[in-house]
A and B are shown apart, each in its own frame.
Chain A
């Protein structure tokens, strides 16, 4: 097979411009994947710096570092940047790099659109960040942009709304591209039920994006027309209702949280079998569980709104439907554990990250179940318990899965191994400081500390001090991550083989490391 690739390589002669024009005009899935990943990492640091400003303010009670208006902007921007700038583009980057290589396709189905999907993003985020410098500051309503608060505010809110439109266009185009690629570009013999789980989870995620992002676009468009064009969707004086915004927002918002986690499930399902040296346990049930989670995500949105006011029947319905999600999620956790059962496991950095994801995500899942209980949620709503919960699923789930994925596929992409010693150091620093940061927030929330407030009562001081120290440790540890990546990219380390990992299985491991610019110009045959 490698002979075929060399041929293809020679025929193409890599007609690409050099310098910046290569990156502006590229339609190559590997180049675009790289750009997405670099963009995601950059945004991870931008959002991370905002998180550190928040934690610096919360280090002590009282107001020291930032004023309350800026604090509100920082919490809002931190969330928007991490969700739309770090996690989503990060997963799209992995999808770009890996889906064509995993299904034996030469590239994405719609390469020019792929280029455009990416290049919208820097402009969207330049506008979002620019809102901080307008009169009245950035958006300060929380990332949920609840009306009527978001109907107020200055030009910064309009810039946020328009940047959300652009992010939405980018991710919907990306999703369409991924669906078309998976449906039409699979190598002969690559049946749907033979696809690697990462491809499956991305296919389902892409459908979620196509269904959910336009609803968000609609919601923020309504906000925009309410603000400037005399409509009254959310203004009671004109016959509207602010609670309506919450329903529309969360109708998007809950599928969104699965958009943020399903690709992580796919990554874990690739890494765990490799380092257990066993095929994935329960492949079919994994696929059906993913589809089940995706379906359920559309009928549970109002569990974000238990305290807003709802009839008892509604609260019961959304409570039970939410708890039902624990079933397919439990199937997944069971399958990962069963994959490891009696495997000959080794603990390289990607495996450590995958194990931490399984363990810590499950903690986040359990606190999610607690939040699903209506009477308990009346106590937990809008407290730090919620903050702890979603950082366990989003940081320990999504972000740490991407770190694991970066270590797992970096040797394939760069042709060089990363430093295992430094990788493990990065893993332990990240995991320990993550828990130091976020575990105490459970206690703060149970004791009643509200989220999104720059000041707090004196009895919350100790846990906040611990949390802030953890946050700075967590932030600094990520500099090591950048160093490790640069070291591997610069090619001073040990050369990686084509298979890289002893137990790795899949088409991407059949091409050499680093892969040629064009892979699978002749489709491979899948048995």
Chain B
């Protein structure tokens, strides 16, 4: 084998290896998507409330009457979406373990039927995994006819493992316009 041929062969090996690395890193960019979700789920820092696995009536923890947590409710419609959304209670106080229901009045002010998807967010984010939802309008797409207004409930409890330093938490919803397709809802 001549020197030139040897070079060519070893060039090919490098090119193949490096091209594979490029493809791999392109895939890694996409792999970051599930990894990110997994990371948020494991650490509970996504600021998303937990969905109760069993939608049972009573939480498996006793009500802790010695502690009280203030919960504030807020909601907005994203961007120019012509919906109004308003919690009927702005603020309430609960004991850990106590099931609570809060209602939101959602109105479609547009002249056409629209589909909305609510996305929850909790502050401070460490509290996300301690707010457990049994029922929520954010579990599904919501369809409102033109001008329709509807009360939508959220049923939740705060679990007893909520760190003591968190005295107040805020549950917020943003409504996004979406297509009526089977896009999955968020917790």
Contacts and interface: CB of A to CB of B under 8 A. Distances in A.
Interface of A: 109-110, 172, 175-176, 179-180, 183-185, 210-219, 222, 232-233, 235-239, 241, 244, 247-248, 251-252, 309-311, 314
Contacts of A222: 29-30, 33
Contacts of B28: 214-215, 218
Contact of B33 (A179, A210, A244): A244
A238 B115 CA distance: 13
Contacts of B29: 214-219, 222, 248, 251-252
Interface string B42-69: 0101110000000000000000000000
Contact of A184 (B11, B30, B78): B11
Contacts of A212: 25
A462 B19 CA distance: 52
Given A237-B176, A239-B183, A248-B32, A311 B45 contact: yes
A523 to B, nearest CB: 10
B60 to A, nearest CB: 26
Contact of B10 (A176, A184, A213, A251): A184
Contacts, number: 100
A214 B178 contact: no
A247 B37 CA distance: 12
A210 B14 CA distance: 13
Contact of B184 (A172, A183, A185, A239): A239
B7 interface: yes
21 contacts: A110-B15, A176-B18, A176-B19, A179-B18, A180-B14, A183-B10, A184-B14, A211-B21, A211-B25, A214-B25, A214-B29, A216-B29, A218-B26, A218-B28, A218-B29, A218-B30, A233-B33, A236-B119, A238-B183, A239-B184, A248-B32
Given A237-B183, A239-B186, A311-B126, A210 B22 contact: yes
Contacts of B47: 309
Interface of B: 7, 10-11, 14-15, 18-19, 21-30, 32-33, 36-37, 43, 45-47, 78, 117, 119, 125-126, 174, 176-178, 183-186
Contacts of A309: 47, 125
B11 A110 contact: yes
Contacts of B46: 241
A244 B28 CA distance: 14
B53 to A, nearest CB: 19
Nearest to B115: A237
Q: Give the interface SS of chain A, mostly helix, strand, loop or mixed.
A: helix
Q: Main SS of chain B's interface residues?
A: helix
A314 B177 CA distance: 33
Contacts of B36: 241, 244, 247
Contacts of A219: 29
A251 B45 contact: no
A329 B15 CA distance: 31
A215 B18 CA distance: 15
Nearest to B23: A214
Contact of B15 (A180, A216, A238): A180
Contacts of B186: 236, 239
A236 B174 contact: yes
A217 B23 CA distance: 11
A96 to B, nearest CB: 17
